[in-house]
Amino acid sequence: MKTKLFVSVLATAALFLSCSNDKKSVEQAQTNAHIKSDIIIENTKIRTGISAEDEERSFIMVTGKSLLEGTAVVKTTNIKGEEIHCETFPAKKLIEQEYKTANSTLKESHIMENVQNYFEIHNSRDLAKS
């Protein structure tokens, strides 16, 4: 009798533990999805060196509700994922002078173009040194 009771209690405890763990993983997935959904546009460049240890990954992304009100992040990491450089600024700073008086649609288009061409204009190696 005591054995059946012990097995029943153990099975019930295992059921509750597994259910609570499932809920945590679902909550974590929802949090990750929410963070990822804030990214509006992103561009990545990988610079390889002589050895694999010299590899750097640079990326620029704009996060927020819109391109014009968003935040731009430029980050460079090494192969281990350690941050070498990080810069954060309003995405509006990606708008060049001749587009300052343009309408919002043209400004957003210009920001998108600058994000896509960012690493052609700015060398990621220079970013890591600044």
Q: How many angstroms separate the CA atoms of 33 and 53, rounded?
A: 31
Q: Do residue 45 and residue 67 come from a single domain? A: yes
How do residues 60-113 score in pLDDT, each as one tens digit? 999 999 999 999 999 999 988 999 999 999 999 999 999 999 999 999 999 999
Q: Do residue 80 and residue 106 come from a single domain? A: yes
Residue 72: per-residue pLDDT: 96
Q: Do residue 82 and residue 96 come from a single domain? A: yes
Q: Give me the numbers of helices (H) and strands (E) for the chain, helices first please.
A: 4, 4
Q: Do residue 27 and residue 69 come from a single domain? A: no
Q: Do residue 31 and residue 72 come from a single domain? A: no
Count of domains in the chain? Answer: 2
Tokens standing for residue 125: 């190696």
Strand 56-63 relative to strand 83-90, pairing: unpaired
| CB contact at 8 A, 87 and 73 | yes
Q: Do residue 60 and residue 110 come from a single domain? A: yes
Q: Reading across the β-sheet that carries 39-47, which strands appear in turn?
A: 39-47, 56-63, 71-78, 83-90
Which residues constitute the domain of residue 98? 39-129
How do residues 8-62 score in pLDDT, each as one tens digit? 544 444 444 444 444 444 444 454 444 556 889 999 998 887 777 788 999 999 9
Residue 125: per-residue pLDDT: 41
| CB contact at 8 A, 58 and 73 | no
